Chains A and B, each alone.
Chain A
Amino acid sequence: MTTTTGGEGEGELHASLPRSPTSCEKLEKQLEDFRNHLKDSGSLRQRIRGVATEIESTTGLIHSSLLLVHQTSFPIAEVLVKEKGQINVLRELFSRLSEIIGEFPGQYYRYHGDWRSETQTVVSLLAFMHWLEMGTLLLHAEAEEKLGLNSVEFGLDVEDYLIGICFMSNELPRYVVNQVTAGDYDCPCKVLKFLTDLHASFRMLNLRNDFLRKKFDGMKYKGGGSLL
C-alpha cells in the first residue's frame, strides 16, 4: 500500500503524477476533522441517551403506579397525588435534555430520535393522568407547560405529542371495563363521548402514511371498536 502520510518516499512515488503532497496532507487534515466532529457527536448522543434512559425508568415508575387505577378499590385521588412528585422528576430530566441540546443550536432534530419514544410515553402518561383528574384532553401547550418546556428553546414536537395521545387513548377501554365491573355505569358514556370527540379531532389532521397514521388507525379499532 502506498497510502502512508507525508515523508520523502511519498513525494518520489507521486513524482510522475499531478497529485501533490499537499493534497495528501489536506486529506489527512479533513479525516482528522471529521473524526473529531463525529466523536463529539457520538459523545453528545451518549449524554442524551443517558438522560433518555432516566426518563424511561421514571415513566416506568409512573406507569406501574398508574396501573393501580384499574384496581378500583384504590382511590384515584391518592394515586394522582403521588404521581405529581414524579412529574417534577420528569421536569428536571427534560431541563437537563434542554441544556444539552442548547449547547448545539439548531440541532434539536439531529438527535431527536434518541429521546422520541420516551417523550411519547411521557405524553401518554401525562394525558391519562390529566384525563383521570379533569376528564378533558391534555393539550399540546399544557403538556409543554407540565414538563417545563417552551417551543422557543426546547419544545415538545407536535407529532410526538399526537402519538402520545394515541397511546393514551388505548388505555381507556381497559379502564372502562374495570370501572363498570366496580359498579360505575356512567363511565362508558363519559369515555365514549371523550373518545368520539378525540377521534373527530384526529380526523381534522391530514396525516401522511407514517407512524402517527398507523397509531391513529389503531385507535379506531382499539378505542372505538370495544365501545361502539
Chain B
Amino acid sequence: MFQSSSTFHKLSRILMAPKPQRRRHFVGSSLDSGVKRARTISILTSSDAATGGDSESSSSSLMKEAFSQYAQYLNDLNDKRERVVKASRDITMNSKKVIFQVHRLNKYNKGEVLEKAEKDLAAVREQHILRLVQELQGTDFWKLRRAYSPGVQEYVEAATLCNFCKGGTLLNLDEINATLLPLNDPSFEPLQINVLDYLLGLADLTGELMRLAIGRISDGELELAEKICKFVREIYRMLTVIAPEMDDSSDMKTKMDTMLQSVMKIENACFSVHVRGSEYVPLLGSADPSYSLLGVSDFDQ
C-alpha cells in the first residue's frame, strides 16, 4: 500500500515494538518518564533528524519528512488514477463506435457489419483495455474501480450487443473474461471484469436493444424485433432478482427503471404492429419510416 516507506516502517516497527508491552507495566508510573523514552525513540526512527539536537526542530522536520512520503504516495496514486480514467474514456468512446456500427445492420448486410464490429471490439481490447491490465494489479483493481468502471460497462454493452446480434444469445461474464485473457503479459495478473460492472453494462444493453428493435420494426423485420423483445425481458427478469443484492444498489435502481421503460417500449411497438398489422404493411421498406404508427410517440433517437 505504501511501498516507498517500507524500510522506514520496518525500522520504526523494530524500534517501537516493545513499547506497548512495557507501557502496560508502567501504567501507574508518572507520565514524564514515558514522554522522555518515547521522544528518544521518535528521534531514532529518523536518521536525518537525529543530528538535530533540539527536539522541537527535529519533530517538525520529522513531520516534513513523513509528509513528503505522503505527498509522493498521493502523487503516484493520482497519476495512476488519471491514466486509468483516460484509458476508461478511450474504451467508452471506441465501444460506442462499435455500438453505432451494430445499429447500421439490416437483413442484407448482417455478416459484413458484424464482422467489422467484432474487429473494432478486438481493437478496443488490444489498444485500450490492455492499458488497464498493468495499472490494476493487486488492491488497485478495487481501489480504482470508480475510475475505470464507466469504460468497462460500455465495453460490456458493446460486446454483449455484438454477440446477441450474431448468435441471439447472451454473452456470459466468463466468456467476456476469456476474451481478455490473451491480453496478458505473463508477469501480470489477468484483468477480469467484475460481476458488478458486468451487470451494470448489461442494464445499459437493453437501451441499445430497444433502439435496435424499433429500427428493425420500421424496416419490417418483425421476427427479429420479437426475438429482441423476448431477450430483453429475460435480461430484465434476471436483473430483477439480482439488483437488490448488489453492493451499491442505488445506481442499479435507476438503471432498472430505465430498463423497464425500454422493455415496455419494445413491447408496445410489437403490440402496435401486431394489432394494426394491416395498416402497417404499406410502410414496409419505406425509406421514411413513420414512428407515429408504432405507438411510441415518446421514442427518442
Interface residues of A in 186-216 (CB under 8 A from B): 193, 197-198, 200-202, 204-208
Stretch at the interface among B148-156, B211-219, B238-246: B238-246
Main secondary structure of the interface of B (DSSP, over half): helix
Given contacts A144-B9, A151-B9, contact A208 B63 (CB under 8 A): no
How many residues from B make CB contacts under 8 Å with A? Answer: 64
Given contacts A80-B31, A142-B16, A204-B64, contact A108 B142 (CB under 8 A): yes
Cβ A109 vs Cβ B74 within 8 A = no
Residue of A nearest to B247 (CB): A41
Cβ B142 vs Cβ A106 within 8 A = yes
A-B contact count (CB 8 A): 158
CB < 8 Å neighbour of B139 from A34, A39, A45, A109: A109
A141 at the interface (CB under 8 A from B): yes
Tell me which residues across on chain A come within 8 A of B6, comparing CB atoms.
151
Min CB distance A227 to B, Å, is 17
Cβ B74 vs Cβ A136 within 8 A = no
Interface residues of B in 4-43 (CB under 8 A from A): 5-6, 8-9, 12-13, 16, 20, 23-24, 27, 30-31, 34-35, 38-39, 42
Cβ A37 vs Cβ B195 within 8 A = yes
B173 at the interface (CB under 8 A from A): yes
CB < 8 Å neighbour of B237 from A3, A35, A141: A3
Tell me which residues across on chain A come within 8 A of B59, comparing CB atoms.
135-137
B104 at the interface (CB under 8 A from A): no
Q: How far is the CA of A205 from the CA of B238 in the complex (A)?
A: 46
A228 at the interface (CB under 8 A from B): no
Tell me which residues across on chain B come within 8 A of A17, comparing CB atoms.
168, 227
Cβ A106 vs Cβ B138 within 8 A = yes
How many residues from A make CB contacts under 8 Å with B? Answer: 61
Cβ A155 vs Cβ B233 within 8 A = no
Cβ A38 vs Cβ B35 within 8 A = no
A180 at the interface (CB under 8 A from B): no
Cβ A136 vs Cβ B42 within 8 A = yes
Interface centre among B38, B75, B199 (most CB of A within 10 A): B38
CB < 8 Å neighbour of B74 from A1, A84, A193, A206: A206
Min CB distance B146 to A, Å, is 10
* Contacts A34-B195, A136-B42, A137-B59 known; 13 new A-B pairs at CB < 8 A: A3-B233, A18-B167, A23-B170, A26-B172, A27-B234, A30-B173, A35-B242, A38-B195, A39-B245, A106-B139, A106-B141, A139-B63, A155-B1
